[in-house]
Amino acid sequence: MKRSTPARSAARRSTSVGAALGALLLTVGLGAAAATAAPLPEPAAPPSASAGLLDAMRQDLGLTAAQAEERLRAEKAATEVERTARQRAGAAYGGSWFDPSAGRLVVAVTDRAKEPELRALGADTRLVRHSAAALDRAKARLDGLRAPEGVAGWHVDPRANAVVVDVVRDARRTPAVLAFLDRARATGLVTVAETAEAPRTYAAGTVGGDPYYTGNVRCSIGFSVHGGFVTAGHCGRAGAAVRGWDGSAMGTFQGSSFPGDDYAYVSIHSGWWTVPVVLGWGTVPDQLVRGSAEAPVGASICRSGSTTRWHCGTVLAKNQTVNYSQGAVYQMTKTSVCAEGGDSGGSFLSGDQAQGVTSGGWGNCSTGGETWFQPVNEILARYGLRLHTA
């Protein structure tokens, strides 16, 4: 990231995270509101979240700080259990999700004989009819269909043990939507849900003082990788020049995909550098990124973006196909977090683990809504990138 001028530094957020990173992190920021961050100590065992992040979870999820801290610990344990449970369940695996009321992972299986072994791992179990592989195959058949306006998207829902097709409420009875639903139901594994609005991307026109620009579009940085950062693909095409918060040359889109996917990699020029930090935008202290372990459905998640700053919610679904007006985007993750124009490309975090970059959604942060992100591990694998972690 570009070195700050003294005047600019006074208007940007900084935080100290231990002696080793202190000097580096004091330069971090891309147009955040003026604030003085409380020092974040570096204990031998790092806390699951900063006080600011816990406060954001309290506000958006209705939790006390203690409840938020306990939930993050339980979600971390569930993330670790999920990896092993998927392997142990094998072909009987029907999906999994985090149950916040129990504080445990729930694993769906088609074979009752697998349940004792999974419970021994620390998971709850649910016997279901369809395996995750069968549901994925049904969803793949829908991915081959052209969806009309009014169909917001579709995803595999392990809790419903079905492929859920989301339809915009006001368009549910239109002939094109009804015809699509007839074809979808032919898979035998589909259920229909309503959504208030059609999804849209969250790019915005040029506004001064925000993270980065390409052409006349403003978007948000996702996560630092060695050599640059990842962001949303609809924010710019390969070869497009990127300007930083101050309007100076920052980097170049080296790769970009949209629709189909919604991810991009931007390499940065000399004079800019990367740090393993997500901005709190003056709402919470800046957050360290320590890895990219994928959180389960039901886990809490928070988003940082240049327009609406910091907001939290939960993971609602994975492997969702989102039907934007520009075309379908596949394998997205759906959340209850709000977002608005200019937040595109911004960071989704679960605790200190990178999850993905903001793609689009519906609603806003005044009345609420839902947002989708492109999982970060897919972006890293696609471009052979290495996440910059603390």
CATH number of domain containing 329: 2.40.10.10
pLDDT of residue 65: 87
Residue 370 lies in a domain: yes
Query: Which of 346, 334, 341 is closest to 370 using CA atoms?
Result: 334
Query: In this structure, are residues 131 and 162 in contact, taking their beta carbons and an 8 Å threshold?
Result: no
Residues 228 and 122 in one domain: no
Q: Are strands 263-268 and 249-257 parallel, antiparallel or unpaired?
A: antiparallel
Low-confidence ranges of the chain (pLDDT < 70): 1-49, 204-210
Residue 27 lies in a domain: no
- The angle formed by the CA atoms of residues 163, 155 and 367, to the nearest 5 degrees, is 120
Residues 98 and 163 in one domain: no
- The amino acid that residue 39 corresponds to is P
The Cα–Cα gap between 202 and 348 comes to 14
Q: Which residue among the candidates 224, 336, 344, 359 is catalytic per the annotation?
A: 344
Query: Which of 339, 381, 345, 382 is closest to 361 using CA atoms?
Result: 339
Q: Are strands 217-219 and 223-225 parallel, antiparallel or unpaired?
A: unpaired
The residue from 178, 198, 218 where one domain ends is: 198
166 is catalytic: no
Residues 331 and 278 in one domain: yes
Domain, as residue range, for 282: 201-383
Residue 331 lies in a domain: yes
Residue 298 lies in a domain: yes
Residues 212 and 306 in one domain: yes
CATH number of domain containing 100: 3.30.300
pLDDT of residue 26: 26
Q: What is the pTM of this model?
A: 0.79
3 state SS of 328: strand
The Cα–Cα gap between 303 and 355 comes to 10
The count of domains in the chain is 3
The residue from 198, 214, 248 where one domain ends is: 198
pLDDT of residue 4: 34
Residue 39 lies in a domain: no
The residue from 154, 170, 198 where one domain ends is: 198
Residues 83 and 146 in one domain: no
Query: In this structure, are residues 307 and 210 in contact, taking their beta carbons and an 8 Å threshold?
Result: yes
The Cα–Cα gap between 300 and 308 comes to 18
pLDDT of residue 59: 85
Residues 192 and 206 in one domain: no
pLDDT of residue 27: 27
Q: Mutual orientation of helices 65-89 and 51-61 as an angle, nearest 10°?
A: 80
How remote is the C-alpha of 11 from its chain's centroid? 28
Q: Which residue among the candidates 155, 234, 311, 388 is catalytic per the annotation?
A: 234
224 is catalytic: no
pLDDT of residue 368: 93
Query: Which of 294, 305, 304, 276 is closest to 350 using CA atoms?
Result: 294
Q: What is the DSSP letter of 91?
A: G
Residue 346 lies in a domain: yes
The end-to-end CA distance of the chain, in Å, is 16
Residues 218 and 114 in one domain: no
Residues 231 and 330 in one domain: yes
Residues 149 and 258 in one domain: no
Non-local (6+) Cβ contacts of 253 within 8 A are: 214, 236, 237, 238, 239, 240, 242, 264, 265, 266
Residue 17 lies in a domain: no
Query: In this structure, are residues 204 and 213 in contact, taking their beta carbons and an 8 Å threshold?
Result: no
Query: In this structure, are residues 286 and 344 in contact, taking their beta carbons and an 8 Å threshold?
Result: no
Residues 233 and 370 in one domain: yes
Kindly report, residue by residue over 8-60, the tens digit of the pLDDT. Answer: 333 333 333 332 233 232 223 333 333 333 343 444 445 556 777 888 888 89
pLDDT of residue 47: 54
CATH number of domain containing 180: 3.30.300.50
Residues 217 and 353 in one domain: yes
Query: Which of 278, 259, 265, 335 is closest to 52 using CA atoms?
Result: 278
Q: Which residue among the candidates 60, 210, 262, 343 is catalytic per the annotation?
A: 262
Structure token digits, residue 166: 């989301």
Residue 41 lies in a domain: no
262 is catalytic: yes
Q: Which long-range contacts (CB under 8 A, 24 or more apart) does 118-122 make?
A: 118/85, 118/88, 118/89, 121/81, 121/84, 121/85, 121/88, 122/77, 122/81
Residues 182 and 267 in one domain: no
- The amino acid that residue 312 corresponds to is C
Q: What are phi and psi of 32, to 5 degrees?
A: -75, 160
